[in-house]
Amino acid sequence: MDSLIVFWFRRDLRTHDNTGLYHALKAAQEEGLRVMPLFIFDRTILDKLDDKRDRRVEFIHHALGEMQQDFTASHSSLLVRYGFPLEVWQELLQEYRIKAVFTNHDYEPYAKQRDEAVSTLLSAQGVSLHTFKDTVIFEKSEVLTAEERPYSVFTPYSRKWKAQLTDIHTSSYPVSEHRSAFWQPLQTPSMPTLEEMGFQKVGEPFPSKEVRADIVRSYNQTRDFPAQQGTTRLSVHLRFGTVSVRELVRTALELNETWLNELIWRDFYMQILWHFPHVEHSAFKPAYDHIPWRHDELDFERWCKGLTGYPIVDAGMRELNATGFMHNRVRMIVASFLTKHLLLDWRWGERYFAQKLLDFDLAANNGGWQWAAGTGCDAAPYFRIFNPASQTEKFDPKLEYIKRWVPELNSFDYPQPIVDHKFARERALSTYKQALKPFATE
């Protein structure tokens, strides 16, 4: 039995412009070996999902199907397993002669821990592990201040990010010339179906690839109007790596600076989570952990279901519940409403988004919530409270977005506001002020 190099796909579900895959194929060619592509459906994650119609699982499954077609064309095949990663790796080491494993970096806390365990197992078996940067442009400690410290403010971070960017950072890692190095199994291994894993199909809401360039071109003009197709909805593709961030940056440099900044925010929050891991469970600024959040389960439930009586908030939550997506402008509005108007813990909202968002990314979601709650690095000051009515006036003046998701708007079925705006605003201001008083700098 010939020995193999394994390439392990995780958040990089594409065969084009994939750093780790490129290096795996190159190494294989140099050493006269083959590359076996692998994906593991991770039960550590899947077992926690109580809704078995999960769009994320379906999205992954679909992306794997597309890759499988590609591998088939190269007379190869993707090996897909379902189980706990460490156990799967133990099995694979028994079943195949594995010389080396290649994979791309995954920065989330769980992923870090998973990869350390696998790395220990592999090295105990004398298998080398090679890992690469792929899902971001600059990772962890590649963008630092003059004092070599991580940034915690976006604007100077982005300035440095842009200053450091060269063609090298956005150039592709083509795999086409190395296709012959793919593993060629005698029999195509079967991929578990969604049903076999206990999941059902749902459906997916994306704009076509063709309209994306137009959206990027006018992004700075249209991005704030949720009734329009003004955002690319590429976040889910970035989440699972079905697009290359390097390609997107090239597009952004060419077409739209504002849109480039959105990509830089991704890198920014990734390095925040890496260097300040406490943000996963507590406020970036410790003083803000003293805010006495209300523990009102009923208000929280009304927020979740889109029954607050504030149309723009309810529209956003209903869009999320129905599609697994919410327009970014509306994410800010509903987050401000939860934390300021309802004075509910930002972590409740963060957790709900984590359950529902197709594009859920721990670093970005946490960063966004802490921004809205005012608890984060470079956050909105706590007294910046969105007024749902004026936000509607500015960004959905014809109520197009609202009516799409709240059709009963003008009927008796639509609830009264669960809290008065003026009262809620003043309550938030005084509560934050009181809680932060002992920590005031002067």
Q: Which residues are catalytic?
A: 262, 265, 293, 328, 346, 369
Q: Is 436 in the site for DNA (CB under 7 A)?
A: no
Taking CB under 7 A as the rule, does residue 429 contact DNA? Answer: yes
- For DNA, the binding residue among 391, 401, 405, 406 (CB under 7 A) is 391
By CB under 7 A, which span of 82-90, 210-218, 284-292, 386-394 interacts with DNA?
386-394
Helix H or strand E segment including 340: none
Which string of x and - marks every residue 342-381 that binds DNA (by CB under 7 A)? -----------------------------x--------xx
Instruction: State which residue, 122 or 333, has the beta carbon closest to DNA.
Output: 333
Of the pair 107, 371, the CB lying nearest DNA is at: 371
On the 0-12 / 13-18 / 19+ scale of CB atoms within 10 A, 90 is middle
Q: Buried b / exposed e across 165-174, counting CB within 10 Å, b at 16+?
A: beeeebeebe
Run of H or E residues at 120: helix 109-124
Evaluated on CA atoms 85, 243, 155, 376, the torsion sign reads: negative
Cβ pair 285, 376 in contact under 8 A: yes
Stretch of 239-247, 274-282, 325-333, 353-361 lying at the interface with DNA (CB under 7 A): 325-333
| 16 exposure class (CB count in 10 Å sphere: 0-12, 13-18, 19+) | middle
Q: Quick one: 89 or 259, whose CB is closer to DNA?
A: 259
Is residue 390 at the binding interface for DNA, with CB under 7 A as the rule? yes
- Sole window of 45-53, 87-95, 125-133, 425-433 interacting with DNA (rule: CB under 7 A): 425-433
Query: Smallest gap, in angstroms, from Cβ of residue 269 to DNA?
Result: 10
Nearer to DNA, 199 or 259 (CB): 259
Write the binding mask 123 to 162 for DNA: x where contact by CB under 7 A, - elsewhere: -------------------------------x--------
Give least dist CB 349 to DNA, A: 16
Interaction between residue 337 and DNA (CB under 7 A): no
Q: With binding defined as CB under 7 A, does residue 421 bind DNA?
A: yes
- Yes or no: say if 63 and 9 are a contact pair by the CB < 8 Å rule: no
Q: What residue has token string 């309209």?
A: 211
Q: Does 384 bind DNA (CB under 7 A)?
A: yes
Strands 128-132 and 98-104: parallel
Q: What are phi and psi of 307, to 5 degrees?
A: -130, 45
**CB-nearer residue toward DNA: 92 or 264:** 264
Q: Is 102 helix (H, G, I), strand (E, B) or coil?
A: strand
Q: Which stretch binds DNA (CB under 7 A): 124-132, 193-201, 285-293, 385-393?
A: 385-393
Q: Is 102 in the site for DNA (CB under 7 A)?
A: no
* Least Å from the CB of residue 67 to DNA: 32
325 with 358: CB under 8 angstroms?
A: yes
- Nearer residue to DNA within complex by CB, 53 or 394: 394
Q: Which is nearer to DNA, 265 or 284 (CB)?
A: 265
Rounded-to-integer distance, Cα 126 and Cα 317, Å: 50
The single residue among 113, 159, 305, 383 that binds DNA, judged by CB under 7 A, is 383
- Residue 407 token pair: 């059709």
Binder of DNA out of 6, 64, 215, 385 (CB under 7 A)? 385
Q: Whole-number minimum distance, CB 268 to DNA, in Å?
A: 10
CB of 391 to DNA, least distance (A): 4
Minimum CB separation of residue 429 from DNA in Å reads 4
Stretch that binds DNA, among 188-196, 241-249, 310-318, 389-397 (CB under 7 A): 389-397
Q: How far is the CB of 231 from DNA (least distance, A)?
A: 11
Q: Which positions ≥6 away from 24 have C-beta within 8 Å? A: 5, 6, 7, 35, 102, 130
Question: d(Cα 347, Cα 352) in Å, to the nearest integer?
Answer: 8
Q: Which amino acid is at 395?
A: F
Separation CA 203–CA 194 (nearest Å): 13
Nearer to DNA, 305 or 384 (CB): 384
Q: Looking at beta carbons only, is 71 or 310 nearer to DNA?
A: 310
User: Taking CA 108 as the corner, what is the angle to CA 102 and CA 114, rounded to the nearest 5 degrees?
Assistant: 55
Rg (alpha carbons) of the chain, rounded to whole number: 23
Rounded Cα distance between 380 and 286, Å, is 16
- Residue 82: in which H helix or E strand, if any? strand 79-83
Strands 79-83 and 98-104: unpaired
Q: Where along the sequence are the contacts to DNA (CB under 7 A)?
A: 154, 265, 328-329, 332, 371, 380-381, 383-387, 390-391, 394, 421, 425, 429, 433
